[in-house]
Amino acid sequence: MKVLKFGGTSVGTVESIKNVKKIVEGIQEPVIVVVSALGGVTDKLLYTSRLAAKGDSAYKQEFDEIVARHIAVTQGVMEKSVQKTVLQKVEETLSELENIFKGVSLIKDLSPKTSDTIVSYGERLSSLIVSHVIEDAKLYDSRLFIKTYRQLNKDVVDFELTNKLIRDTFAVIPKVALVPGFISSCRDDDEVTNLGRGGSDYTASILAAALNASTLEIWTDVDGFMTADPKVISSAYVIHQLTFTEAMELCNFGAKVIYPPTIYPAFHKNIPIKVLNTFNPSAPGTLISAELPAKASENDKKAMIKGISSINDTCLVTVQGLGMVGVIGVNYRIFRTLAKNDISVFMVSQASSENNTTFAVRNEDSDLAVAVLNEEFTPERERGEIEDIEAEKGLATVAIVGENMKRTPGIAGKLFGTLGRAGISVIACAQGASETNISFVIKFEDLRKALNSIHDSFFLSEYKVLNIFIAGVGTVGGHLLEQIERQQQKLMHQNGVKLNIAGIANSKKMLLKRQGLDLKNCINDLKINGIDSSPSILRDEIIKMNIFNAIFVDCTSSEKISALYETLLNKNISVVAANKLAASSAYKNYSLLKETARKRGIKFLFETNVGAGLPIINTMNNLINSGDRILKLQAVLSGTLNFILNTVSENVPFSKVVKMAVDAGYAEPDPRIDLGGKDVLRKLVILARESGYVVEQEDVEHIPFIPEEYLKGTIEDFWKKIPELDATFEENRKKLIVKNMRLRYVASMNEGKCRVELREVDARHPFYELEGSNNIIMISTERYHDFPMIIKGYGAGADVTAAGVFADIISIANIR
C-alpha cells in the first residue's frame, strides 16, 4: 500500500483532475489518495471571510465565484450518469458554507474556530468531487481520525490518538481511499481544526507512517526539488535523490515543494518520499530516503552541496550589550519571550564573546519581537547593560544544504570567498554541528546575485557562466563578438563555460539583456532597439543589474570609458581592457586599479594593450611571480610603424604607405596618433610598470617617428603636407641598403629608464628580419641575461587584438 497526495494545482482544473484519475487508476496496489483544495480556493475562502467579517457585501460576489468554480469543475469531470447526484452534494455543501458566511457578515466577527471551519470546505469539496471521478474510490472524513490539541496558539497533532484512529479506520483498505488533506479536529471537543498551510502533505505523511506504507508520493506541479529557484537561476535542475535531512533543511529555508513537517513522520518510519509531477508523470522526480541508494549517480554522491534555498522575507533582530557577557539565562529569556508571543525564529547567530545574540524572523513578526523584547529587558536597558533592541529589515536568508558537507574542509571558505568576489556582504551566518547546512543573511537586493554565484561556484550549474558587457562594437569589438559566437558552443561542451553577452554599447546607444543577447543580430539590434547612453548611464545600468560573474570589456579608445574602471572594480566587476589609456595613465591611478582588483578578488586585465594578441604581459608576470627580475626591455611595439618601414620602397613612397596602413586597419583613421609615437610611448610605460618600475609618461625620452610640425593642424593639413617626407624616407632607405641595415622604431627600458626612438639595426639584430606589421620584444632578466627571451608575432589588427581580449576573458573563467 502507498499514499499519494495531490496538491491544489493537481486538482485545480478539469484537465488536471483527469490526470489524477489516470495516475491513480494505473496503480495496481491499494492506495490512499489525499487531495488539497482546488488551486487558489483556500486563499479565496480566507479573503471572502475577511470581507464578510467587515460587513462588506462584496463577499457575496467572491462566494459566487467559488460556487461557479466548483460547479464548472464538477460538470467538466463527471460522467452524465452521476453528474446530477454529485452536483446535488456539492451544492448542499456550498449552501452550508454560504450560511456560515451570512452569519459572519451579520455579526461582523470571525473567530479562529469559524475561520478553521470555513477553510475546511476547500478540501471537503475537492475530495467530494475527486472521489466520484476515480473508479472504486471511497471517501473518508479526515476530521474523524486526525486529532489535534492546542499548544502555544497552534493546533498540534496528537499522534498517539491519531495513529490509533487511523489504524482502526483503515483496518481494511479499499482499492482507493480518498481523504481530504489539511483538515483535522480537536481531540477534546471535535471542533474543526487544520494542520496549517501546506497541511495536506502532512496529512498524507501521517497516514503513511501510521499504516507503514511502502511509499509516500507527493504529486505537485514541478518535476521535483530543484538545485535552486528556477525563476532566479535558469540553469537550476532537478535533484534526483535527497536524504531526509537534506530535504528538511531545504524545506525549512524556503523550498516550497513540500510542507516541512511532512518529512518527520515518514523519516520516523523510514518511508521513502517521492516528489512527482502530475503534469509530467513520466519524469523521475525526486526520491527522499534515509540515505542515497546504491544506484544514485556519482554526481549525487560526490556533490558537496545538493541545493540552495532562500527566504526572501527576513528581518534580523539583535540583542546586544556588554551587560550580557557571562550572564546566565539571557538567551532563555529571549526565546521564552518570543515563544510566548507566537514568534517563530528560523536562524540564530551568537558572538562567542556573548555580548550579542542575533536571530532571524519574518518581517511581519519583527515589530512585535522588538516590542516584547524591549519590554522584557527594560531593567537592563535602563541600566545601560543592554542597548535598545532594533530590527533590520529588507534582508534575505540563504542556505546551502548537503550531507557531503560533513567533515569536508573548505566548504565555508569557498562559500564566503564566492560571496566576497561577488561583492556581497554577509550580515549574519550560522552552521549547526551536523554540518549539513550553512545559512547566512544578506541584503535582499543581493539575493539573485548570491544565488547565481553560489550555484555557479559549487558546480550545480551545467556551465560556468560569465556575464559580459562590451563597450565598443566597432572593429575590435565586432571581431570579438564574432569570435565568441563561433566558439560559444565549443566552450560550453568542452570547457563547461558559457559566455553570456549581457550588454553591448557604442558611443551613443546601449542594449542590455540579463538573459543574454542574440550574437548573430545584436549589433543590428543595438542600432534599432538600443537606448540612448553615455559612459555614466552605461555604468549605472550595469551596476543596477547586479549580475554575478560580471566582466566589463572595453574595446574603445575612450578616456571617459576608461574612467569607469575604478567604480566597476569596486562593484566586483572584472575589467578586460583593449583600451590602453587606464594602464598608461598616472601611476597612482594604474596602481589603484590593480590594487582594487586584488583586494576584491577579481581581475583587471589588459594583455592586448601591448602586442595585440601576443602573450607579453602575461609572460612578464609569470617571470616576476616565479622570482625573476626584469632588467631590460627592447621592443618594436607598433605594428603600424613596422608595416610602414617594411613597405616603403622605390615605387611605393612613404605618404602612400601611410594611406595603405590606414586602409588596412593597421593605423588609426587619424594616423598621426601612430606616427607621433605616443602609442608606443604608452605601451612602453605599461611594460615598465608591469616589470616593477614606477614610470610616468613624462619620464620617457621620446623622439617622434616624424617631425612634430607634421603632427599639428587638421587631418586635411596632414594629408597635404605628408608627401614632403617621401624624399627623406627614400634617401634614408637607400643609404641603409648600402650599409645592410634597416630602420626600426624601438622602445627600450633599462632598469626603469625608458626611451622611444628610430634606430638603425644591422642584419645580426633580431629586429632586422621583422616582417609586415609584426611586433617583437626582447626581455632581459636575472635569469635570461646573456640570451634574452624573445616574443614575436602579429602585433596589429582587429582580429588578433580581439583574440587577445577573448583570451583574457577565458582566463577569468578559469580562476572562478
Residue positions annotated with a catalytic role = 683
Cα distances from 510 to residues 474, 525, 544, 565, in angstroms, run 13, 10, 14, 18
Asked if 149 and 80 count as a contact pair (C-beta separation under 8 A), the reply is no
Residue 202 CB: number of other CB atoms within 10 A?
27
* Contacting residues for 49 by C-beta, under 8 A, at least 6 apart: 59, 101, 104, 110, 114, 115, 118, 119
Tell me which long-range contacts 191-196 makes (C-beta under 8 A, separation of at least 24): 191/113, 191/116, 191/117, 192/113, 192/116, 192/117, 192/120, 192/143, 193/116, 193/148, 193/155, 194/116, 194/119, 194/120, 194/155, 195/146, 195/148, 195/155, 195/157, 195/261, 196/154, 196/155, 196/259, 196/261
User: At 567, which amino acid appears?
Assistant: T
C-alpha 268/C-alpha 624 separation (Å) is 61
Residue 761 forms beta bridges with which residues?
742
Compute the 3-state secondary structure of the chain and give helix, strand, coil in percent, each to the nearest 5. Answer: 45, 20, 35
**Residue whose grid cell is 484512529:** 165
CA–chain centroid gap for 672, Å, is 46
**Residue whose grid cell is 550553512:** 438
Question: Which letter does DSSP use for residue 226 in this model?
Answer: B
Strand duo 428-431 + 437-443: pairing: antiparallel
C-alpha 489/C-alpha 192 separation (Å) is 59
Cell of 730: 627614400
Tell me which long-range contacts 185-191 makes (C-beta under 8 A, separation of at least 24): 185/143, 185/144, 185/146, 185/147, 185/148, 186/147, 186/148, 186/149, 186/150, 186/155, 187/147, 187/148, 187/149, 187/158, 187/161, 188/149, 190/143, 191/113, 191/116, 191/117
Residue 158 CB: number of other CB atoms within 10 A?
18
Element at 318 (helix H, strand E): strand 307-320
- 708 burial via Cβ count (<10 Å: 0-12, 13-18, 19+): exposed
CA angle, 542 then 443 then 454, to 5°:
75
C-alpha 430/C-alpha 350 separation (Å) is 8
Helix (H, G, I), strand (E, B) or coil at 753: strand
Q: What is the DSSP string of 61-97?
A: HHHHHHHHHHHHHHHHHS-HHHHHHHHHHHHHHHHHH
Q: Can you give the length of the chain in residues?
A: 816
- 437 burial via Cβ count (<10 Å: 0-12, 13-18, 19+): buried
| Nearest to 749, CA basis, from 690, 687, 682, 677 | 687
Sheet of 273-277: strands edge to edge? Answer: 137-139, 176-180, 31-35, 2-6, 215-220, 273-277, 286-289, 241-243
C-alpha 14/C-alpha 9 separation (Å) is 11
Q: What is the DSSP string of 461-530?
A: SSSEEEEEEEE--SHHHHHHHHHHHHHHHHIIIII-EEEEEEEEE-SSEEEE-TT---TTTHHHHHHHHP
Asked if 460 and 413 count as a contact pair (C-beta separation under 8 A), the reply is no
